[in-house]
Amino acid sequence: MPIRSLLSSVLIGAVASARSMTPMASIALARLAGRRTPGQLFLLDRPLFKFGAMAMGVGELFGDKMKTAPDRTVALGLTARVASAGIAGAALAPHGSECAGATVAVATAVPLAYATLAARKRAMSRIGQTRSGLIEDALVVAAGLAIVALAMRRTRE
């Protein structure tokens, strides 16, 4: 299997490194719009999952701006990234390659969580927590939506 076929999974893992719930929220939004994912995951068809993922994605965007927000590399933050990246990576992988998609997404998300945290801390020292968070949000949400849209567009062609 060429690694190019798993590129969407790798990229969604990078998104999960910065915002753990954005991959799931992006997929949930696309599923609500009637789009299909390349990978087959029945969890994505459950209304509770779709609305829950979107609510958690929005909640994370607000929670990140709080002074008491924990670093993304604490155990709970890494666990959320592993779960989200794994599910999203599997969903965006070609049918039959869901396990490989989950694996590469998680393998991308965890180490990059440390890199994106370091970058965020540098930005916070220069422009503050809220402003750096809003910029990071815009970049990460746009990337998540674009990756999901491109992966799902390929399944319709």
Q: What pLDDT digit, counting tens, does each position of 121-142 carry? A: 999 999 998 899 999 999 999 9
Q: Give the CA distances from residue 14 to residues 30, 35, 45, 110, 143, in Å, rounded to whole numbers and listed in that order.
A: 19, 22, 24, 9, 9
According to DSSP H, which parts of 33-128 are helical?
A: 47-63, 75-92, 98-127
Output the pLDDT for position 47. 85
pLDDT-derived band at 94, boundaries 50, 70, 90: very high
Kindly state the helix (H) or strand (E) to which residue 18 belongs, with its residue range.
Answer: helix 7-18
pTM exceeds 0.85, yes or no: yes
Q: Which domain holds residue 69?
A: 3-156
Half-sphere exposure of 132 (CA within 13 A, CB side): 18
pLDDT-derived band at 71, boundaries 50, 70, 90: confident
The candidate with the shortest Cα–Cα distance to 115, out of 71, 60, 146, is: 71
Domains in the chain, number: 1
Output the pLDDT for position 115. 97
Tokens, residue 81: 């990234």
Q: Give the CA distances from residue 108 to residues 51, 52, 67, 111, 121, in Å, rounded to whole numbers and listed in that order.
A: 26, 24, 27, 6, 20
Distance CA 143, CA 125 (A): 24
Please state whether 39 falls in left (phi above 0), alpha (psi between -120 and 50) or beta: beta
Half-sphere exposure of 74 (CA within 13 A, CB side): 5
For residue 42, pLDDT over 80 is answered with: no
For residue 23, pLDDT over 90 is answered with: yes
Output the pLDDT for position 157. 44
For residue 44, pLDDT over 90 is answered with: no
